[in-house]
Structure 1
Amino acid sequence: MTGYWESTEPGAGRRAPRADAVSDAAVLSLNGVWRFRLSPTADGTGAAFVADDFDDSAWDTMRVPSHWVLEEFTPLSGGPARSMRGTEEGPLYTNTAYPIPLDPPRVPAENPTGDYRLVFGVPAGFGPAVLRFQGVDSCAKVWLNGRELGWSTGSRLPFEFDAPVRPGRNVLAVRVHRWSAGTYLEDQDMWWLPGIFRDVELLARPTSGAIDDHFVHAGYDPATGLGTLRVDCPVDAVVEIPELGVLMPAGRTASVAVEPWSADSPRLYRGVLRSDGEAVDLAVGFRRVEIVDGVFTVNGRPVKFRGVNRHEHHPDTGRTLDRATMIQDIVMMKRANVDAVRTSHYPPHPEFLRLCDEYGLWVVVECDLETHGFIYAGWDGNPPADPAWRDAVMDRLHRTVERDKNHPSVVIWSLANESWTGETFGEMERWLRERDPSRPVVYERDPSYRNSDFYSLMYPSLDLLEQIGRHEEPTPAGISADEDARRRALPFLLIEYAHAMGNGPGSLSDYWRILSTHDRICGGFVWEWIDHGYNAVADDGTPFVMHGEDVDYEPSGRRFCLDGLVFSDRTPTPGLVELAKAYEPVSITVGSAVTIANARHSASTDDLVFRWTLEDDETPRASSALAVPPLGPGETVELPLPAGATGHAGRGDLVLTVEAALADDTVWADAGHVVAWGQTLLTSTPARAPRPAPPGRAVTVDDGEVAVGEAVFDAVSGRLRRLGALELDGPWLDLHRAPTENDHGQGAINDIASVWRKTALHRMLHRTDAVSAGDGWLRVAGRTAPRTHPHGVAWTMLWTEDDDGVALEATADFVGPWADTPYLHRDVWVPRLGLLFALPGGVERAEWFGRGPGETYVDSFEGSRIGRYARTVDDLQVPYPVPQENGNHVQTRWLQLTGPDLPCLRVVGEPHFDFTARRWTSVALQEARKPHDLVDSGRVWLNLDHAQQGVGSASVGPALPERYRIPRERTVWRVRLGAV
């Protein structure tokens, strides 16, 4: 026997969906502490709990809004209060798979169900009321004062009931099922989190003149500068916008000169829609959204979305977010030059869109619909293709559009995510075009794009993206010539790219160079904004970040919930630093001249101040303001180098930096916040010519050691033992790094980490074949190779006495079958080519001149300036919740490592090198599951590398571009070392 929770209908008893509004009618928040009891099946606690006089004094308490799986309370089995986190009863994470059998619309008998009760008072004269739930996961049935009001699915969408409240005491009872037929429409790469997780409100409704809905139509003509305003309303009402002098009946149209709304100039005109019973706030943004000759435009100008995908997440409360957290997200986005959000994969809390209107973000609102898990059935029974689900699917679109239709920030509607194809998509498109012709529609997954105004893909390679920009991409399989011709005329929207999982993503600037070059491409959305990890505590009290792999449950998306540009606690990752550079709205190129281009959509640069600084590797030399004429959108100016920045002689590298910063405070940043910068090296220390290689001689041994200037070497292994008074060991040729999440690829696709493990790159054997020495020099030759396999690296290290230490010239020859290796039949690409040293554990501080201050890699360094930096060794580590390679620094000119009572080790590049320094080996980093597994080894392990391969974004995306791999060819590099 099935129940309502297994019905393909979307609900019953609900009011028609309507616009989100801020009204002067009374509102009674029902958020707070409710009574709660969790049961193992959909029967809940039975029928009695809805009665007025039901005794719930023995029940648990539950915060509303919240997810019960994230709260601490008495569990199903009874006993003391505990958290469900990390258990099969708690939060579950899947990426594509359903956590229940694929048997639509049925769900398991084991269906955790929460019964909620709230006793609340209603003041006399409150009047007729509406009960509104902003979000309940996944199905809820509601009773008020013992009377059944109805039920609803659609977790991230509001639903309302007429509420016959009485003055004084009222009793609200809600039964919430974890699993329902709606579950099959919500497979959205996220944690499954049941509960009443958004606000619950009682809304007073006037007995006459109630403004139950309204639709703001605010167009803009860029040719005349005139805005047209019409507000539709089902009752007699007046529209008043004092700033515009508008006072007119609803339904009439006014034409008036306005400043248009855009993400970089979010101009809102505040007003009111007033009837004889109610007043509703208006925040009107005038803009015109259209596609012209295959180009997406707003207000007559092309738009390039500098976007991110955003799930709602908090490390303690899940998808229950307060307003302060929403503002924090938006402020961080704006400061990182992000100007667009795709609400993956459901409409957000309505307050978020109100804030987007105010702060200025382009928004793609996505319907609460994804059926990705039907891929495991070969898409058989996919709801958008099954008429039985038609009403449920259409209901979700209606509720999305009606709620959010009045927000100027919303410029595109997305029908769904990863739900393959079906005739219902055609009906969704037809209804949407009739209801709201002012915005275009996107749906990415149908290869014909018959229901989309955009051609769209996820995670294309750089080469494919370039082809798309030139209209030269290959034709998708299974579509007709007419469909392909239509698709090629559409603008292209990169709906997801640059999977930000772990250390990465790489190539952000590469992607943006292509995105910004082609008119056909209207920008893209990085996946994604935030890691979905939860604050947790190990048995010994150690805090850690919980991810899907920490729950003993299958299926599991494992660690793929950790794929954000900010960590779960909203600490920025190095990836966000790189994205901020790629997304700069003002381009500053410093070379023989200073070229400044305004890439903003509609704002000039008159809100910015420009300044320059000149520094060498020791101290700042000069700085001043830079006079730049105001630039309109799309305008460029070329200026000579500042007079005060030229003619400086001196030693070392001389770096000129030009910045653009906010002139005044804004709602999202204070004056002085840097929005863009550019740099150039005016002078650079030339690399010294290497000393010629001397002829071989017999080794002179003194107590098993050989001295070259201040350096002392082991006579047998050739390893450096002391440099001046500094005890150390090494170097070893190092080809290994602890794999990043991107090195693991996606399943078997691009899984280069498994190749490294199979060839034991983490446990290479080193052999010294020859040591020869002479006056002021030492040559060591050897071979480094894995067990089992025939390939390896033959190397030599030539040490020569230097002015204040020793110079090292390292040569590496790749020998044997590194390409298409026997047995594996795979190419083996090494992640690192460099030198590994063991330093005393007392080394505490690193100071360097190069890129910084954060980690950088060959495909992710453009957001880090060249300069002089200092950090502790501990602060060089990036605390990824899954330990992996981190903390590299490219283009390092010199490095100094110091500690109490230790000589300073100084390394100088010829011309530069990569470095990492940490208190554990790369092998220990590879084997650790959590950051607290990493233990100080008693040494500092220093890598001085010729190169390390890029990080890419292959965890979901293309393979690492070959230009960011390390060539397997004869390689020579040089560094100089000294200890003071």
Structure 2
Amino acid sequence: MSEIPDWENLNVINRNKEKGHVSTISYIDQKTALKKSKSIFFKSLKGTWKFHWVPKPSDRPVDFHKSNYDVKEWDEIQVPGTFELQGYGMPYYLATSYPPALRKRRAPNIDKKDNPVGSYKQSVRIPKEWKDREIFIHFAGVKSAFYLWVNSQEVGYSQGSMTPAEFNITNYLKSGNNQIAVEVYKWSDGSYLEDQDFWFLGGIFRDVFLYSKPKVFVRDYFARCDFDENYNDAELKIRVNIKNTLEKSIKGYKLETSLLDHSTKAVESDPILISHVKIPGSSDLVLDLEAFIRKPMKWSAETPYLYHLLLKLINPKGEVEEILHNRLGFCKVEIKDSQIFINGQSVIFKGVNHHDFDPETGCTVPYERMVQDVKIMKQNNINAVRTSHYPADTRFYDLCDEYGLYVLDEANLEAHGFMGDIYLKKKLKDKWSTSAVDRMERMVELNKNHPSIFMWSLGNEACFGPPHYKMKEAALRIDSTRPIHYENDLNLEVSDVFSTMYFTPQKMEKVGKLETVKYRFPNGSISPETYADKPYIQCEYAHAMGNSLGNFQAFMDVFEKYPNCVGGFIWDFVDQGLSKTTDNGKKYWAYGGDFGDKPNSSNFCINGIVRPDRTPNPSLFEVKKVYQNISVEAIDLVTGDVKIHNKYRFLNAKFLKIEWEVTGNGEMLKQGSIPSKSIEPLSSKRITIPYEKPDLSPGVEYHLLLKFSLKKATLWGEKGYVVAWEQFELPYKIAETETIPLDLPAVELEYTEKEIKVVGRDFTITFGKSSGVLESYTFNNIPIVSYPLHPNFWRAPIDNDNLKRVVSYNYPSLGWLIPANSWKNASENRSIKKIRVDKISSDVKLVEVTMKFPKNRELYKTTYTIDGKGEILVEVEFKPSKELMRLGMQMLLNEDLKHFKWFGRGPHETYEDRKTGAQLGIYSASVEDLIHDYVYPQENGNRTDVRWITVTNDEGKGFKITDYKGTLLNFSAWPYTQDELEKAEHIHELPRKDNITFNIDYRQRGVGGDSPALPTVHEEYKLKKDVTYSYSFKIIPLI
């Protein structure tokens, strides 16, 4: 019987690998350590390596690790980086199942004909300053398993992709050039634990470096704190592990511990602690240190104050052996009263899930991209991030500490492909414990000093069983200061919080009220006896796939209403589209299937509030508004009295500048600012905005806008950056009385076999007898409408509409939910029942068209009233027999009518259930500015609450559409047709037409977003069947 390869053997996860620990890079002096300058005891191995790739293990160059093996003709590859995105092999995207190489009913086996192997080789010289020191090699991340050789000698083996693998290579080195050889297997038994709704990629994808330590060195340390009952004074507790690699005992060493403030001034005494060290040969010493700190500055996401912690190891001669540096935050996490408290204050986590992702390099993320991500989060009022579904790059945690983000740190454990398989869950019950515990321990050991981490997660969607009990026990042995999270713990046996995914606001409210809640459909439920004492958190909610994130405000309303509902994490931050180029040079963002990967989950990886390049999706503006920490309540808008609510937990609102504007029909009338107000956290203050009542005009809407901006620049925002705003309609309005113009030019009617023409002095308007719609409109011989204005009830399906595509990849059992497409071609299949023409007067004519649509019981009626000025009043009445996607009209515009200006919500795209984050105002845009290129093309570019819109050419000629009698309109315009939009699967497949598609709508169905790619639009945002809808608008020539 052949020997089981390590990469299929559940009993082998590491060989000769160092235990997990925090970063312990040595510095030679305090100045260098504080500046985090490059240490002389650190050597990066980033760059070009020699490389050879094969599709299966049997083809690999077995002896390549030997020093005499010639690799001159090998390719070169960048490290860090993945195989696939440098031209070797195929990326796979699957959301909930395994690629073909992973056969779940044969787990932990791997298909030996489909397991790519990458062989890496590099030469390195050891710096002379490292003589007589211990030398380690550090791999920050390798997917998914690898062997290491140094100078032809095997050093060790590792798997577990998302935490570092370190090896002590001191005894394998020689003077001069040293050869490092690494053999990486894309798949291993560990891959079954890494089915994480992400791209399956392979290679050395995170940093690789060497570092050296003295023979006696600090191996690990854990700094934490405790506060007195008033959270004023703190006890700093540090557990330090010092290792003696010498065979003889050592004594006379001492460890000095210093604490410096942000400006590097010593806190208390310097050092605050001196510990004498005596260690037997080849042994470790653990020191438990404590220091009393008077009134330290406390760390929170709002006030991310960091101290400098220095550990200085000194030998008996008084020489500094090494200095270690860490940024320390005083932060205590507690669960009390079914809430999560940070330094004694309850917190609402306004979070987002975050994958390590870059469109060019996949899971190899440049530092600049991490900084960009953190800044975007802070700028948009996001205060928390979940590292879904594995530990992030260590530099990301440093940024969260520095900028201020709460982190739910998640272990590298997801076995989604096993989730629904009862047979496998029983068969594999405890076989994965060793791997699971190792992953948990290494995450906690690595990241335990980060104040930003408020909770550890045991993983995601990895069933539930013995491994999770053991993982929690392992975590608590290392760190008992933070709670434990696991969403799949349905009976809350190990999780310290009640965590769910994709509960609707209505379900969340049941939790807030401590009611029994249906959980894990179709038959499960959880009672308040089980969860009442635990905080409730949504580890995933508000699924942001494509045009989504509807009714987002409803979630925040629940979080703010019920104290036990402590927040959640949007799914997710970034569209995970990989950069790809067509044969003719067009770049686009690729998703599952675009690399020939079969099976795949299509575009289910495109779920972000930002696009792959981090430009905003429209949902980001909604997030910023809903998550903002200042709200304003109108008390008496006649006198300008309002109440400002400061929702910050730790910040006084005086750091914000307050500005106000009064507008009339979107035009600026008055503006000003008021002195900043001292409003304590979670407090309110009533103030008066010093505006005067404007001179009122009939029919004008008056609005007050309040803006709150940064008085000083921060790490993430410039001075003047607006963090919150509120807008109110002022109670000043004079009704506009409709005046009937006198002495208008006469209007005549002309009939042909196919047309009805309404002819005025300056215009001709044509209706088709067979089409029943307005087909053309010229004014002063200039075409205003050149193409039919026809009814439209359909939209190019958004991801939350397009169940047919989504369920075929992910949820085949939900096929019954796919809605009928009965409205898609309804307009072109209409039948004209009646056209009535009335002569109201010599200067006003009426055309009334009644039409019938397939499978609809009621008739559709449109009335056009045309006066001598050429103005058209359009009135529509309709009672649908089935729910509608939209109710409106569509036509093509001549290419020169490309300038759009409107009074409504903007400037960005909005929909009925996603418009909280858009202000009412007057905005201008080209057609290219109006559209939004979702990675997977779909309905886009809508604007809501529109009072009027002008469509003009370069000379300002065209037409204006105004709402009539308070009918607020929607509009959109695209440089392609609706049919082309629906057929396209990538942005580059959308043609750019000379003509422009123009939509003028009463309303559209909302976009939804409560659940992943399901039609979860709330009732109030639907266009319901058997309801009579009516709307009206005017078309006015601008010539």
TM-score bracket, shorter-length normalisation: over 0.9
Cα distance in 2, alignment partners of residues 460 and 474 from structure 1: 10
1:163-213 deviation per Cα after TM superposition (whole angstroms, max 9, x unaligned): 1223321010000001101111111000001000001111101112x1110
CA deviation after TM superposition for structure 1 residue 847, in Å:
0.5
1:487-522 deviation per Cα after TM superposition (whole angstroms, max 9, x unaligned): 232110110011111112111112111122210011
Of 733, 745, 750, which aligns to 1:701?
Answer: 750
Which residue is 2:234 aligned to?
227
1:621-673 deviation per Cα after TM superposition (whole angstroms, max 9, x unaligned): 22111234211110011223x23253342463322110110000101111101
Is 1:649 aligned with 2:649? Answer: no
Residues 21 and 157 of structure 1, relative CA distance in 2, 3 Å threshold: same
Residues 94 and 688 of structure 1, relative CA distance in 2, 3 Å threshold: farther
Give the 3-state SS of the residue equivalent to 2:241 in structure 1: coil
Which residue is 2:369 aligned to?
325
Which residue is 1:732 aligned to?
790
Q: Is the 8 A contact 1:766 1:782 kept in 2?
A: no
Q: Is the 8 A contact 1:756 1:762 kept in 2?
A: no
Of 506, 519, 526, which aligns to 1:463?
Answer: 506
Is 1:401 aligned with 2:433? Answer: no
Letter in 2 for 1:377: D
Which residue is 2:1019 aligned to?
962
Of 728, 739, 755, which aligns to 2:819?
Answer: 755
Cα distance in 1, alignment partners of residues 520 and 983 from structure 2: 42
Residues 612 and 116 of structure 1, relative CA distance in 2, 3 Å threshold: same
Is 1:595 aligned with 2:648? Answer: no
Cα distance in 2, alignment partners of residues 55 and 663 from structure 1: 63
Which residue is 2:305 aligned to?
267
Cα distance in 2, alignment partners of residues 749 and 472 from structure 1: 29
Letter in 1 for 2:838: A
Cα distance in 2, alignment partners of residues 876 and 556 from structure 1: 32
* Unaligned stretches of 5+ residues in structure 2: 28-38, 243-253, 262-266, 276-287, 315-320, 741-746
Q: Is the 8 A contact 1:134 1:198 kept in 2?
A: yes
Cα distance in 2, alignment partners of residues 688 and 510 from structure 1: 38
Q: Is the 8 A contact 1:778 1:798 kept in 2?
A: yes
Which residue is 2:73 aligned to?
58
- My pick for the range that moved more, 338-347 or 646-655, is 646-655
Which residue is 1:173 aligned to?
181
Cα distance in 1, alignment partners of residues 469 and 718 from structure 2: 47
CA RMSD in angstroms comes to 2.5
Q: Is the 8 A contact 1:374 1:382 kept in 2?
A: no
Q: Is the 8 A contact 1:342 1:363 kept in 2?
A: yes
Which residue is 2:284 aligned to?
none
Residues 447 and 242 of structure 1, relative CA distance in 2, 3 Å threshold: closer
Cα distance in 1, alignment partners of residues 910 and 527 from structure 2: 44
Letter in 2 for 1:945: D
Q: Is the 8 A contact 2:897 2:953 kept in 1?
A: yes
CA deviation after TM superposition for structure 1 residue 530, in Å:
0.4
Letter in 2 for 1:579: V
Of 777, 782, 790, which aligns to 1:722?
Answer: 777
Letter in 1 for 2:1019: E
Which residue is 1:621 aligned to?
669
Q: Is the 8 A contact 2:352 2:572 kept in 1?
A: yes
Of 926, 932, 948, which aligns to 1:894?
Answer: 948
Is 1:611 aligned with 2:648? Answer: no
- My pick for the range that moved more, 617-626 or 759-768, is 759-768
Give the 3-state SS of the residue equivalent to 1:882 in structure 2: coil
| Structure 1 segment 175-254 matched on structure 2, within 5 A | 175-208=183-216, 210-221=217-228, 223-235=230-242, 236-243=254-261, 244-246=267-269, 247-249=272-274, 251-254=288-291
Give the 3-state SS of the residue equivalent to 2:218 in structure 1: coil
Which residue is 2:989 aligned to?
933
Q: Sequence identity of aligned pairs in percent?
A: 28
Residues 249 and 55 of structure 1, relative CA distance in 2, 3 Å threshold: same
Residues 852 and 355 of structure 1, relative CA distance in 2, 3 Å threshold: same
Cα distance in 1, alignment partners of residues 1028 and 528 from structure 2: 47
CA deviation after TM superposition for structure 1 residue 941, in Å:
2.1
Give the 3-state SS of the residue equivalent to 2:432 in structure 1: helix
Give the 3-state SS of the residue equivalent to 1:730 in structure 2: coil
Give the 3-state SS of the residue equivalent to 2:1003 in structure 1: strand
Q: Is the 8 A contact 2:440 2:474 kept in 1?
A: no
Which residue is 1:779 aligned to?
847
Q: Is the 8 A contact 2:382 2:624 kept in 1?
A: yes
CA deviation after TM superposition for structure 1 residue 596, in Å:
1.2
Give the 3-state SS of the residue equivalent to 1:765 in structure 2: coil
Residues 65 and 771 of structure 1, relative CA distance in 2, 3 Å threshold: same
Cα distance in 1, alignment partners of residues 623 and 240 from structure 2: 43
Of 879, 885, 893, which aligns to 1:839?
Answer: 893
Q: Is the 8 A contact 1:916 1:944 kept in 2?
A: yes
Residues 173 and 402 of structure 1, relative CA distance in 2, 3 Å threshold: same
Is 1:767 aligned with 2:831? Answer: yes
Which residue is 1:677 aligned to?
725
Of 488, 492, 497, which aligns to 1:445?
Answer: 488
Which residue is 2:30 aligned to?
none
1:87-125 deviation per Cα after TM superposition (whole angstroms, max 9, x unaligned): xx3111000101021121110112110010001111224
Residues 532 and 645 of structure 1, relative CA distance in 2, 3 Å threshold: farther
Q: Is the 8 A contact 2:225 2:236 kept in 1?
A: yes
Of 164, 168, 190, which aligns to 1:162?
Answer: 168
Which residue is 2:32 aligned to?
none
Residues 548 and 389 of structure 1, relative CA distance in 2, 3 Å threshold: same
Cα distance in 2, alignment partners of residues 323 and 612 from structure 1: 38
Letter in 1 for 2:777: R
Which residue is 1:11 aligned to?
14
Is 1:255 aligned with 2:311? Answer: no
Give the number of aligned pairs. 943
Of 520, 542, 565, which aligns to 2:609?
Answer: 565
- My pick for the range that moved more, 929-938 or 139-148, is 929-938
Q: Is the 8 A contact 1:475 1:484 kept in 2?
A: no
1:19-39 deviation per Cα after TM superposition (whole angstroms, max 9, x unaligned): 124431601111110000001
Letter in 2 for 1:528: D
| Structure 1 segment 300-339 matched on structure 2, within 5 A | 300-339=344-383
Cα distance in 1, alignment partners of residues 57 and 326 from structure 2: 42
CA deviation after TM superposition for structure 1 residue 335, in Å:
0.3
Give the 3-state SS of the residue equivalent to 2:913 in structure 1: coil
Cα distance in 1, alignment partners of residues 332 and 142 from structure 2: 34
Give the 3-state SS of the residue equivalent to 1:606 in structure 2: helix
CA deviation after TM superposition for structure 1 residue 480, in Å:
12
1:679-734 deviation per Cα after TM superposition (whole angstroms, max 9, x unaligned): 0122467576699xxxxxx9943554432755613262352521523331332121
Cα distance in 1, alignment partners of residues 946 and 823 from structure 2: 30
Give the 3-state SS of the residue equivalent to 1:421 in structure 2: coil
Of 107, 114, 119, which aligns to 2:118?
Answer: 114
Letter in 2 for 1:59: W
Of 766, 786, 809, which aligns to 1:713?
Answer: 766
CA deviation after TM superposition for structure 1 residue 771, in Å:
2.8
* Unaligned stretches of 5+ residues in structure 1: 72-82, 692-697, 819-827
Give the 3-state SS of the residue equivalent to 2:604 in structure 1: helix
Give the 3-state SS of the residue equivalent to 2:220 in structure 1: coil
Cα distance in 2, alignment partners of residues 936 and 32 from structure 1: 41
Cα distance in 2, alignment partners of residues 310 and 802 from structure 1: 60
Is 1:23 aligned with 2:26? Answer: yes
Q: Is the 8 A contact 1:843 1:902 kept in 2?
A: no
Residues 119 and 335 of structure 1, relative CA distance in 2, 3 Å threshold: same
CA deviation after TM superposition for structure 1 residue 575, in Å:
0.6
CA deviation after TM superposition for structure 1 residue 284, in Å:
1.2
1:384-425 deviation per Cα after TM superposition (whole angstroms, max 9, x unaligned): x63332211110001000000000000000001001111121
- My pick for the range that moved more, 619-628 or 112-121, is 619-628
Which residue is 1:75 aligned to?
none
Which residue is 1:77 aligned to?
none
Which residue is 1:821 aligned to?
none
- My pick for the range that moved more, 142-151 or 717-726, is 717-726
Give the 3-state SS of the residue equivalent to 1:237 in structure 2: strand
Q: Is the 8 A contact 1:741 1:955 kept in 2?
A: no
1:40-87 deviation per Cα after TM superposition (whole angstroms, max 9, x unaligned): 22245333211122211011101000001000xxxxxxxxxxx35xxx
